[in-house]
Amino acid sequence: MGAVGLHGESALLAFAASGRAVAHLWEAPLGLVAPSSYRRYARLAQIQADFARRGVAVELRPSGGGVVPQGPGNLNMSLAFPVSQPIGSLSDAIYQHLCAILQAALAGLGIRAEARAVAGSFCDGRYNLAVGGRKIAGTAQYWRRREANGHAVLAHAVLLVDADPAAATGLANAFEAALGSGRTYDPDAVTSVALSLPGNDADPERRLSSIVRGALRRALAYAAVGAHRERLAELTPRRRGTDRERSSCSCDQR
């Protein structure tokens, strides 16, 4: 998410806690975002400092999963909205909602994407979006209890637009190696919008990120979070829950 993104997403959660819905498209500076579970590594603070000296910010996020590279060439989409259902009861429906928005945007560019796990990709999970068997986007969500009623939900996706999959994967691998985690990722398991365009030929007269932003805005207009709160609620039966907060990532962290 990056430092700016993490602070911005806290503001989005507060917005949702007030009973309103919002969608935000944003980019982050070069960096890595790891789950808070990485605090278990004794050398984390030293490694964060080492990477910072190289111009790479390493941030921790509340949601689970694995390491996610950020930076120029990636586009983030954050949706924040209130729900009245018990905590976590709509998790699958929300992931499906995120994926549907991204799929619609990519379809408008002639790219067919599917929700699935991609072995070897960083932060792998069953609600990745993949093109040709390679990961092009990842998703996560975070729930927080509202003081009034129900929960505020932050649903997030990061889409590789014209980032270099090999460079992004290499950065994640360097971080994992410095930690001594034993995890490695395969650059061939990841792709980007630029590499997936029909004919692999982006319009040289226009910034690809602007094209993708426009496609996402159109997809969001057809699937406005506020208009679909009731529809999402119908997809999962109600059940009782008492936790104040819950985070998840579509990643299957091992």
Please identify every residue annotated as catalytic: 123
216 near 105, Cβ under 8 Å? yes
Q: DSSP letter string over 107-161?
A: HTTT---EE---TTSTT-BTT-EEETTEEEEEEEEEEEE-SSSSEEEEEEEEEES
13 near 1, Cβ under 8 Å? no
CA-CA distance, 191 to 166, in Å (whole number)? 9
178 near 47, Cβ under 8 Å? yes
Output the six-digit token pair for 122.
């960083």
CA-CA distance, 99 to 105, in Å (whole number)? 10
CA-CA distance, 26 to 161, in Å (whole number)? 12
DSSP strands (E only) in the chain: 22-26, 31-35, 57-61, 68-70, 74-83, 114-115, 129-131, 134-145, 151-160, 245-249
213 near 75, Cβ under 8 Å? yes
Question: Strands 31-35 and 57-61: what pairing?
Answer: parallel
